[in-house]
């Protein structure tokens, strides 16, 4: 029998780790910086596309690596890849070095994607507090948004004076992730496997094949990630139609602050109303508001889009909680990585198409199209909800 261990140390370190992972002064102005260096929205969005394509290529191997080698050292490697990425961006004067940086960015995302949630889940399971996963996922993920919010304000202000300086400031938090990971403790509930990698992957794929509920939830989360991330990365270009550069950082800070609160209270809200109803209500509300903001663009549109973040944390925690219930312990990180793999491929293709449409039609119309696409995810979650009610 595995001895019960306190999860406090790992959770505390993971919270700070999440803060520094997303302390990105570049984030609110990234599309503006990349477009400035490359000369077009299409090439600027291509930087994001390459990072997602790289993430897709690395996704499954890193998920298997996490399951077979360990969660802690996977995070350490992610921190190193993230540091190299931001250094490449800072040194870039043309597209090729931005592309190299985006490959390292993709490697970092792949190392973190299935691994970090598995690390939290395993930590809690070892302490026999697995039922508290949604609560602690919300609390630790709120630090993502806190890091983004503070750095967004910083990045927006500094960008008014020097875009390269925004990049150099972002190097330190990436290196802090490396240091923090070294002090984490590998959960003993996770048994490192030295079996065949392909057999491990095949077993994970079989779990998707035989679990219809998991497939539907995965398709919906893939759509949200692949299309939604492309939209969020492009919105600063839309904001710039109405607001000065410094105010874009302020708008992103507001969005991240609201998302931080949403994550912080998500566990309590999900416990009361259940994950699927929270997810459905959140998606319908946020997409409706964003559709109005993009369909009738005014100076208030950036504020309306930013305010939809009050629902973002609850949606994310609800979605991840539902997926984690369907994943198996042995392939938890691998199954999460397979899910992100598909989302990354979708993002890689969609981001370039997004840039092409924006170069032709301007920043507003592509966002309107995206909201129509994302709303289709509501029907996937509704089908799961309907079947769940029928069984009740």
pLDDT in tens, 33-52: 888 888 888 888 888 889 88
CATH class belonging to 9-181+201-391: mainly alpha
Phi-psi region of 192 (alpha: psi -120 to 50; beta: other; left: phi over 0): beta
Assess whether pLDDT exceeds 60 at residue 87. Answer: yes
CA dihedral (289, 295, 297, 302) positive or negative? positive
Assess whether pLDDT exceeds 80 at residue 1. Answer: no
Of 94-103, 183-192, 212-221, 307-316, least confident by mean pLDDT is: 183-192
Place of tokens 């609201």: 258
Average pLDDT value for residue range 260-285: 87
The full DSSP string for 42-71 is: HHHHHHHHHHHHHHHHHHHHHHHHHHHH-H
Per-residue tokens: 3: 């001895």
Q: Give the rounded distance of the alpha carbon of 35 from its chain centre.
A: 22
Q: Hey, which of 246-250, 300-304, 386-390 has the most confident mean pLDDT? A: 300-304
Assess whether pLDDT exceeds 90 at residue 84. Answer: yes
Average pLDDT value for residue range 92-98: 90
Q: What are the sequence ranges of the domains in the chain?
A: 9-181+201-391
Give pLDDT tens digits for 282-313.
Answer: 889 998 999 999 889 899 999 999 999 888 88
Whole-number average pLDDT of the chain = 84
The whole-model pTM stands at 0.69
Give pLDDT tens digits for 334-380.
Answer: 777 788 788 878 887 887 888 888 888 888 888 888 888 888 888 88
Q: Report yes or no: 222 and 381 within 8 Å, Cβ to Cβ.
A: no
């Amino acid at each position: 029998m595995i001895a019960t261990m306190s999860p406090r140390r790992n959770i505390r370190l993971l919270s700070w780790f999440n803060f520094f992972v997303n302390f990105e002064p570049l984030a609110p102005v990234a599309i503006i910086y990349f477009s400035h260096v490359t000369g077009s929205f299409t090439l600027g969005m291509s930087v994001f596309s390459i990072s997602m394509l790289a993430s897709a290529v690395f996704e499954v191997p890193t998920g298997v690596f996490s399951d077979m080698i360990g969660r802690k050292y996977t995070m350490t490697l992610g921190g190193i890849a993230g540091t190299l990425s931001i250094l490449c961006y800072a040194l870039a004067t043309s597209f090729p070095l931005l592309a190299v940086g985006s490959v390292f960015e993709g490697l970092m995302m792949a190392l973190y994607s299935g691994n970090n949630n598995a690390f939290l889940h395993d930590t809690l399971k070892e302490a026999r507090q697995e039922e508290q996963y949604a609560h602690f996922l919300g609390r630790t993920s709120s630090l993502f948004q806190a890091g983004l919010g503070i750095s967004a304000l910083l990045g927006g202000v500094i960008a008014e004076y020097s875009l390269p300086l925004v990049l150099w400031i972002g190097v330190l938090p990436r290196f802090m992730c490396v240091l923090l990971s070294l002090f984490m403790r590998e959960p003993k509930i996770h048994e490192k496997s030295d079996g065949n990698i392909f057999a491990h992957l095949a077993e994970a794929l079989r779990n998707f094949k035989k679990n219809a509920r998991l497939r539907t939830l995965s398709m919906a989360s893939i759509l949200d990630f692949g299309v939604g991330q492309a939209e969020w990365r492009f919105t600063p270009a839309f904001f710039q139609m109405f607001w000065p550069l410094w105010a874009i950082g302020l708008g992103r800070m507001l969005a991240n602050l609201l998302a931080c609160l949403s994550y912080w209270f998500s566990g309590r809200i999900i416990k009361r109303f259940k994950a699927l109803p929270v997810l459905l209500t959140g998606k319908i509300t946020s997409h409706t508001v964003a559709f109005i903001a993009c369909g009738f663009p005014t100076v208030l549109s950036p504020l309306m889009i930013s305010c939809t973040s009050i629902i973002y944390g609850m949606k994310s925690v609800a979605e991840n909680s539902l997926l984690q219930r369907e994943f198996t312990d042995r392939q938890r990180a691998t199954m999460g990585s397979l899910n992100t793999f598909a989302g990354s491929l979708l993002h890689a293709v969609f981001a370039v198409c997004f840039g092409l449409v924006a170069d032709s039609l301007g920043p507003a119309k592509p966002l309107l199209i995206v909201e129509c696409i994302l709303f289709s995810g509501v029907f996937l979650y509704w089908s799961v909800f309907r079947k769940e009610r029928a069984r009740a």
